[in-house]
Amino acid sequence: MPKGFYNVPVAKNEPILTYAPGTPEREELQNMLSTLRSQEVELPMIIGGKEVHTDRKIRMYPPHDIKHTLGYYNQGDAGHVEMAIDAALAAKADWAALQWQHRASVFLKAADLLSGTYRAKINAATMLGQSKNAYQAEIDAACELADFFRFGVKAMSDIYKMQPGSSPGVWNYNEFRPLEGFVFALTPFNFTSIAGNLPVAPALMGNTVVWKPSKTAVYSAGVIMEVLREAGLPDGVINQVFVSGPVAAGAVLSHPQFAGIHFTGSTEVFQSIWKTIGDNIYKYRSYPRIVGETGGKDFIFADNTADTQALAIAMVRGAFEYQGQKCSAASRVYVPKSIWGDVRKKLGDELATVKMGPPEDFTNFINAVIDEAAFDKLVGFIEKAKQDKDADVIFGGEYDKSVGYFIEPTVILAKKPDYITMEEELFGPVLTVYAYEDDELDKTLEILDNTSIYALTGAVFSQNRYAIEKITKRLEHAAGNFYINDKPTGAVVNQQPFGGARGSGTNDKAGTVFNFLRWASIRTIKETFMPPKQYTYPNFQDD
Ligand code: NAD
């Protein structure tokens, strides 16, 4: 047991480097990009600390340069998932018994590696593998992941301090036990930080984990594993398998020792997982914890006092940074007709200056979308909008997949508020605007609130304090993260705890005590110093 009440180092958000011309970080990142481009890696699965190779090698390539090969990963099957589960269960007792400050130290060291010697590598891997520009990679892969680890350690120690009161003669205390069994981390392609946080949060609380990264983010997931191993993560605590989602889910969700899932991805996949867990509920030793952050149809609502330049910039950044492939990306905007002409002009002026191309050219704001399936789906919506009488494509609308999966930032003007691209999550650089009659603000808020199944992020733009208050209140359940005069993206760990409700997930707020509590099962212990020696109470005595 620890011999002291240790204070963890004060967590601070990792400062974001600029990568401006002439800075050392720019040069270091450019060198790392060249190095990674000049070699082909072979990524094994890591199971029980061992590197596992198979005879199925899957090519990894940049979405913006599909003929270039970054390397190969070793594709596994259900047998490898079983091996990973066994390795997690075998590592459990030692890891759970390790004093918490030693668990913390592993991840604090990993954070320092991410913000230090591995910064260029994790950023370059994210830029090449997931087609992110330097700034987007920096705020995600290096900074946010280091923040998750550092604030995770703080959350863990804050939880350990949550103790009950004790009356005279009694001492009560809580033990935050890891869950019995193993935890499954199933991660998306779009944020390296989320991919790293989902297995690490349960591990910090003493759990052992089977981690299946997205097939389109294996390249950076391999670097995360490298960092964790260099930081001293013991074998078997996090086991990384490269298998298809259904294969992993098939083995994991039917296992009696399955203790919980930490998921981020689409609503459809999350709902299918939840259903399978329900169907298998009699098989499990405990009720599995289900934590999932999923899709969004994130909005900006402006009234006629909005600052039109600030609104146009929020639309460009909020909708098109990382090609709109953020769960929080603005994808529907409601603007009153009286200011729409002005907003449209400013938006068009800004978009005319936007450059698209590979992230290795640092001047490109827009890079490629993640894969061919996403490209084809998005093109389908754009082509449909070009034909539909209920929509006009007013900016962008061109695309090309000959070199990489490039789609211009595209703005659709919807003539009715329930046009399909106002409702469905597209997950790409496509923004739909609906211009409403100024005297129909209340009706439009009602429509906004009932248009989609999601409630992840949203923003209001207004300079009228009464309107800001009214709209914020009216949209209380429409978003788990709500912004006033700001774009709805870019949540920072410990500043805007992130997560949405309704169809968007369980809203457990990644990186906070609320999330970390899900990875512990509390045992409350009561000790009585002078136990009663007779069963009667005073009222039973005669007068
Ligand atoms: P996805 O749902 O396609 O994949 C997520 C993970 O689930 C991947 O590892 C994938 O291989 C796996 N998977 C896919 N099909 C599966 C199945 N049938 N059974 C089991 N596993 C399966 O999501 P994605 O394309 O990687 O990510 C984009 C989605 O994630 C978007 O919907 C986005 O809104 C959401 N997202 C949400 C948040 C949030 O915090 N709310 C953050 C990032 C991304």
- Residue 491 included in any domain: no
With a pLDDT cut of 90, the percent of the chain lying above it is 99
Split at pLDDT 50, 70, 90, the class of 2 is confident
Tell me how far the alpha carbon of residue 479 lies from the centroid of ligand 1, in angstroms.
19
Look up 143 and say whether it is catalytic: no
Question: What CA dihedral angle connects 110, 512, 245 and 455, to 10 degrees?
Answer: -140
Q: Render pLDDT for 110-124 as a digit per residue (tens, 0 to 9).
A: 999 999 999 999 999
What domain range is 191 assigned to? 24-294+505-526
Instruction: Identify which of 132, 189, 512 to mutate to test ligand 1's pocket (most ligand atoms within 8 A of the CB).
Output: 189
Q: How far apart are CA 263 and CA 271, in angstroms?
A: 11
What mean pLDDT do residues 298-323 have? 98
Given the residues 138, 144, 293, 360, the one annotated as active site: 293
Q: What is the 3-state secondary structure (H, E, C) of 176-203?
A: EEECCCEEEEECCCCCHHHHHHHHHHHH
Instruction: Identify which of 240, 294, 425, 512 to mutate to test ligand 1's pocket (most ligand atoms within 8 A of the CB).
Output: 294
Atom 42 of ligand 1 has which residue's CA nearest to it?
327
Tell me how far the alpha carbon of residue 264 lies from the centroid of ligand 1, in angstroms.
6
Q: Please indicate, yes or no, whether residues 314 and 264 belong to a single structural domain of this protein.
A: no
Atom 9 of ligand 1 has which residue's CA nearest to it?
214
Atom 26 of ligand 1 has which residue's CA nearest to it?
188
Q: What is the CATH number of the domain that holds 44?
A: 3.40.605.10
**3-class SS at 337?**
helix
pLDDT value at position 103? 98
Tell me how far the alpha carbon of residue 268 lies from the centroid of ligand 1, in angstroms.
9
Q: How far apart are CA 13 and CA 2, in angstroms?
A: 28
Tell me how far the alpha carbon of residue 188 lies from the centroid of ligand 1, in angstroms.
5
Residues near ligand 1 with C-beta < 6 Å? 186-191, 194, 212, 214-215, 245-246, 249, 264-266, 269, 272, 293-296, 327, 425, 427, 456, 498, 500, 504-505
The total of structural domains in the chain comes to 2
Q: Please indicate, yes or no, whether residues 324 and 212 belong to a single structural domain of this protein.
A: no
- Locate the ligand 1 atom nearest the alpha carbon of residue 270 and give its number: 2
Q: Please indicate, yes or no, whether residues 191 and 160 belong to a single structural domain of this protein.
A: yes
Q: Please indicate, yes or no, whether residues 36 and 162 belong to a single structural domain of this protein.
A: yes
Q: What is the CATH number of the domain that holds 474?
A: 3.40.309.10
Instruction: Identify which of 136, 194, 269 to mutate to test ligand 1's pocket (most ligand atoms within 8 A of the CB).
Output: 269
Q: Is the pLDDT reported for residue 401 higher than 80? A: yes
Q: Please indicate, yes or no, whether residues 475 and 519 belong to a single structural domain of this protein.
A: no
Q: Please indicate, yes or no, whether residues 272 and 350 belong to a single structural domain of this protein.
A: no
- Residue 166 included in any domain: yes
Atom 43 of ligand 1 has which residue's CA nearest to it?
327
Q: Please indicate, yes or no, whether residues 359 and 434 belong to a single structural domain of this protein.
A: yes
Tell me how far the alpha carbon of residue 192 lies from the centroid of ligand 1, in angstroms.
13
The number of angstroms, rounded, from the C-alpha of 415 to the middle of its chain's C-alpha atoms is 33
Q: Is the pLDDT reported for residue 514 higher than 80? A: yes
Tell me how far the alpha carbon of residue 42 lies from the centroid of ligand 1, in angstroms.
24
- Residue 534 included in any domain: no
Phi/psi at 22 (5° precision) = 90, -10
Q: Is the pLDDT reported for residue 78 higher than 70? A: yes
Q: Which residues pair with 436 in a beta bridge?
A: 336
- Residue 322 included in any domain: yes
Q: Is the pLDDT reported for residue 73 higher than 90? A: yes
Q: Please indicate, yes or no, whether residues 254 and 235 belong to a single structural domain of this protein.
A: yes
What mean pLDDT do residues 511-521 have? 98
Q: Is the pLDDT reported for residue 338 higher than 80? A: yes
- Locate the ligand 1 atom nearest the alpha carbon of residue 267 and give its number: 32
Q: Please indicate, yes or no, whether residues 288 and 316 belong to a single structural domain of this protein.
A: no
Phi/psi at 531 (5° precision) = -60, 145
Q: How far apart are CA 366 and CA 374, in angstroms?
A: 16
Q: What is the 3-state secondary structure (H, E, C) of 346-383?
A: HHHHHHCCCCECCCCCCCCCECCCCCHHHHHHHHHHHH
Tell me how far the alpha carbon of residue 344 lies from the centroid of ligand 1, in angstroms.
33
> How many CB atoms lie under 10 A from the CB of residue 526?
11
Q: How far apart are CA 434 and CA 414, in angstroms?
A: 5
- Residue 493 included in any domain: no
- Residue 154 included in any domain: yes
Given the residues 321, 327, 408, 425, the one annotated as active site: 327
The mean pLDDT of the chain is: 98
Q: Please indicate, yes or no, whether residues 70 and 132 belong to a single structural domain of this protein.
A: yes
Q: Is the pLDDT reported for residue 418 higher than 90? A: yes
- Residue 434 included in any domain: yes
Q: Please indicate, yes or no, whether residues 163 and 102 belong to a single structural domain of this protein.
A: yes
Q: Is the pLDDT reported for residue 1 higher than 80? A: no
- Whether 242 contacts 45, CB under 8 Å: yes
- Locate the ligand 1 atom nearest the alpha carbon of residue 214 and give its number: 9
> Tokens 């003669």 correspond to what residue?
169
Q: Please indicate, yes or no, whether residues 304 and 269 belong to a single structural domain of this protein.
A: no
- Residue 18 included in any domain: no
